Amino acid sequence: MINKIGHMDDFLVEYERVLERALSYGATNVPLTGFRDRGINWKPPKKFIPACHRGWEKVQNRIIDLLQQISCDKSLDKEEKVYRQLLLRKIVDTMANTMLGGKTYVLRRIAIHGAIPPIDLKVIKETQRIANRDNHESRLTFSLIADLTTFVHVCDLLKIDFRQGHRGLSLIELKDGRVNEILLSQMERYPLEDESLDRLKDDNNIRPNHKQQATRILRQKIRLDQVHTILRDDKGIDPEIKMPIAVVGDAKGNSIEEENYGQFLAELIESSKKEKCGVSSGMINCCLHLGVGYSSDTNVARRKAIYAASYSMKKQLKNPMMEFTEIRNRLLTLVTEKDMVIAGNLFEVNLHSLPVIPFLLWPIPRHSLFDLMKRSLVVMFIFDLPGFFLMGKQLGVDLELSTRSEADSIKKRIGVHNVVTFGNRMVTYAVGDQSVKLASLIPRFFTNLSRPAQFLSLCAKRSTINRSTNPRHAGI
């Protein structure tokens, strides 16, 4: 099936077809029945899951076709090609996110690169052949091509399997070549732990010219085992920074679903469309200012959104609470005014960041999602550090800024891309006599639409608990 998709409108028509198939193919072809008073009976009919997987296979194959068309379209410049590729890959991200149960802490452990890797269609098509073969063997399984996603970096295939009557997940790495086959057999005698990498260096059974390749294979096997442990147990060792992960939960230890401000954003968007000027603004939890601009001209929409977000922040500064002024003045002794804010385009940040909840899962109307993709709708955000500290104080969390040397130390240990700083200082808070760094938490406020107040409330609960275990953790 070949469609001409050079024009953006034509591309989005085809995009909507593919998206609809990804989200609704199973329910359309095998409608769920058996509704109960408290919702759906989620013991699915035997034909429903195979229908979903068949739809996903069609989506995956169609996306590869569209990626090929985009790469060959001489009417598109490089920037536009990358933009459309990312839009398509976000559909695959949505499928992967569903397979992983929407667990953000898992998403973050399988993204190991600091930026979204480019696609290699030659490699993808070879993997497609294997994925389609596996998918045809049983419709109770589905193999997703990892290279089509933006964030699955630790394997070649992400496979879901319902043949045992429950959901099973596996991350599969495909290996080719005689040398790899020999090395894999030699790796079997090594426990899947980081200490094995040191023992491998002194293994005389592996040729010196194969040591580097063997180390890479073993490191990947260890990483995959650590991710499988996290998927199975909701706990384990972070594969990148080698620290225990801590999944914040309620008093009974149950994980807590992240609250989002999607409904608030949807209302702002609707308001901007109703207003003649095409502008609306709002503030979330004292610290996150949103500006919405709507216009058929992308540049006009962007200017409107910047104005609206700035207006919201200036409004707060014009009539500040006394506590806000005190906090702001204290922070100005540590960082400059410019360093106290993070600003950007909400949609573009989600599109280019990883790992994130794909914007296609934002709880806003689908027509608004397509306006964002057309760039006729622009949402700008400004995250204000003094406002965040004020919210923390109101909720009983004493936030502080680290020293610059502390921030540099953390960057060296876990990577620059995992650390958000203000004037090269990290936001911290105390748990007992330990200082907990919110190194990678803040971006979720503008990538996943997470509410800052919910996280600060959880921080407040943690800071009042006398923990018997070491509170050092890799984050939630």
Residue ranges of domains in the chain: 8-172, 178-233, 262-464
The answer to whether 390 and 327 are in contact (CB under 8 A) is: yes
Query: So what's the pLDDT on residue 232?
Result: 66
Report d(CA 76, CA 82) in Å as an integer. 10
Looking at residue 143, its amino acid is S
Query: So what's the pLDDT on residue 231?
Result: 63
The distance in angstroms from the start CA to the end CA of the chain is 43
At residue 235, does pLDDT exceed 90? no
**Residue 99 neighbours by CB under 8 Å, 6+ apart:** 142, 144, 158, 160, 169
Query: So what's the pLDDT on residue 473?
Result: 41
DSSP readout, 128-147?
HHHHHHHHHH-TTEEEEEGG
Q: Is the dihedral of CA 158, 161, 166, 168 positive or negative?
A: negative
At residue 433, does pLDDT exceed 50? yes
pLDDT confidence band for 241 (50 / 70 / 90)? low
In percent, how much of the chain has pLDDT > 90?
A: 56
The answer to whether 180 and 218 are in contact (CB under 8 A) is: no
Query: So what's the pLDDT on residue 466?
Result: 41
At residue 118, does pLDDT exceed 60? yes
**Using one digit for the tens of pLDDT, what is the confidence trace for 258-277?**
789 999 999 999 999 988 89
Query: So what's the pLDDT on residue 475?
Result: 39
pLDDT confidence band for 47 (50 / 70 / 90)? confident
**Using one digit for the tens of pLDDT, what is the confidence trace for 290-343?**
999 999 999 999 999 999 999 999 999 887 788 999 999 999 999 999 999 999
The two three-digit tokens of residue 13, written as one number = 């028509």
Per the rule left: phi > 0, alpha: psi between -120 and 50, beta: everything else, 34 is left
Query: So what's the pLDDT on residue 114?
Result: 84
Query: So what's the pLDDT on residue 367?
Result: 96
Residue 399's DSSP bridge partners are 429
Q: 234 or 18: whose pLDDT is higher?
A: 18
- β-pairing verdict for 157-161 and 39-40: unpaired
Report d(CA 217, CA 73) in Å as an integer. 37
Query: So what's the pLDDT on residue 357?
Result: 92
The two three-digit tokens of residue 333, written as one number = 């002794």
Beta-carbon neighbour count of residue 375 at 10 Å?
Answer: 19
Report d(CA 102, CA 237) in Å as an integer. 19
Sheet of 427-431: strand order equals: 399-401, 427-431, 434-437
Query: So what's the pLDDT on residue 282?
Result: 96
- Residue 428, H or E segment: strand 427-431
Per DSSP, 476 falls in state: -
Average pLDDT on 30-54 reads 68
Q: How far is CA 132 from the centre of its chain?
A: 26
Q: Is the dihedral of CA 205, 207, 212, 217 positive or negative?
A: negative
Q: Which residue has the tokens 């992983």?
A: 100
Distances (CA, A) of 285 to 343, 444, 457: 16, 14, 12
At residue 54, does pLDDT exceed 60? yes
Q: Give me the phi and psi of 292, to 5 degrees please.
A: -115, 130
Q: At how many degrees (to 10) do helices 385-394 and 452-464 cross?
A: 50
Among residues 443, 475, 444, the alpha carbon closest in space to that of 459 is found at 475
Sheet of 279-284: strand order equals: 279-284, 288-294, 377-384, 341-345
**Using one digit for the tens of pLDDT, what is the confidence trace for 144-178?**
999 999 999 888 999 999 988 778 888 888 865 44
At residue 189, does pLDDT exceed 70? no
**Using one digit for the tens of pLDDT, what is the confidence trace for 70-81?**
999 999 999 999
Q: Give me the helices (H) in 353-403, please.
A: 366-374, 385-394
Query: So what's the pLDDT on residue 242?
Result: 59
pLDDT confidence band for 213 (50 / 70 / 90)? low
